[in-house]
């Protein structure tokens, strides 16, 4: 199984700040990576697929990058509505998720 | 608007069975691969099972193989998950989701909670 290691597990940031979340795959996943946002009590919502493609309707302050085993999600100009837990997911070999990064406001 | 509405969750004793349903609307259900993904309380996400758009192929994670069965009724735009021989570790919120051909989960339902406990 491909393991996905996310970091940090939690972070606190201020409004307007830029935030980076990392995801490390246990082997090369050839950009077969998605990012999701899950707000408390809600279901996950797709943000990014194919490592860097923005899902329709997702604000452009969200962006994804990376290749091989290392990927990242960047949130520019943090807004209050971005408070959530973020998960990465690989789909190169079946489907596995990272453990999540809980983002809070400072 | 894509809508996925799960139902059928509840409290069940270990070893018993439960069947979940997911009613789809707002898209052509028979064109889409579908999946179940679960999330244990305060935990991360875990893929459970996948079914191809026409029901011809199914895939399962190892821990549920032989106990869970995913199926679909395209005439009713409904996805199912039959769960037998339930264990305490199956306790989770179960989400149905559309599965893109390449492998991401584009749309999710609101989830249904399954609690396995005596």
**pLDDT for B113:** 98
Q: For residue A10, list its beta bridge partners.
A: A102
Report pLDDT for B101.
87
The pLDDT tens digits along chain B (118 residues) read: 999 999 999 999 999 999 999 999 999 999 999 999 999 998 899 999 999 999 999 999 999 999 999 999 999 999 999 999 999 999 999 999 999 988 999 999 999 999 999 9
CA B26 to chain centre: 19
- Rounded to an integer, what distance in angstroms lies between the CA atom of residue B38 and that of residue B57? 20
Task: Determine the 3-state secondary structure of B62 from DSSP.
Answer: helix
The alpha-carbon gap from A36 to the nearest alpha carbon of chain B, in Å, equals: 9
Chain B, residues 62-91, CB within 8 A of chain A, namely none
pLDDT at A22: 98
Q: How confident is residue A54, by pLDDT bands cut at 50, 70 and 90?
A: very high
Residue of B nearest to A89 (CA): B104
Rg (CA), chain B: 13
Q: What is the Cα–Cα distance from B118 to B115, expressed in whole angstroms?
A: 10
pLDDT digits (tens, 9 = 90+) for A6-17: 999 999 999 999
């Amino acid at each position: 199984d491909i393991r996905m290691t996310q970091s940090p597990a939690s972070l606190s940031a201020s409004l307007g700040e830029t935030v980076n979340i990392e995801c490390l795959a246990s082997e090369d996943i050839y950009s077969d990576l998605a990012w999701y946002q899950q707000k408390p009590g809600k279901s996950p919502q797709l943000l990014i697929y194919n490592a860097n493609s923005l899902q329709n309707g997702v604000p452009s302050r969200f962006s994804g990058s990376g290749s091989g085993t290392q990927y990242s999600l960047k949130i520019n100009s943090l807004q209050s509505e971005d408070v959530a837990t973020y998960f990465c997911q690989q789909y190169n070999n079946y489907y596995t998720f990272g453990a999540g990064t809980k983002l809070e406001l400072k | 608007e894509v809508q996925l509405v799960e139902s059928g969750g509840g409290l069940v004793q270990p070893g018993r069975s439960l069947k979940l349903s997911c009613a789809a609307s707002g898209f052509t259900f028979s064109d889409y691969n579908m999946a179940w993904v679960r999330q244990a309380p305060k935990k991360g996400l875990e893929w459970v099972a996948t079914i191809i758009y026409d029901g011809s192929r199914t895939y399962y994670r190892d821990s549920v193989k032989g106990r869970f069965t995913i199926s679909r009724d395209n005439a009713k735009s409904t996805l199912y998950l039959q769960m037998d021989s339930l264990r305490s570790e199956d306790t989770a919120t179960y989400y149905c989701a559309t599965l893109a051909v390449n492998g991401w989960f584009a749309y999710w339902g609101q989830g249904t909670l399954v609690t396995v406990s005596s």
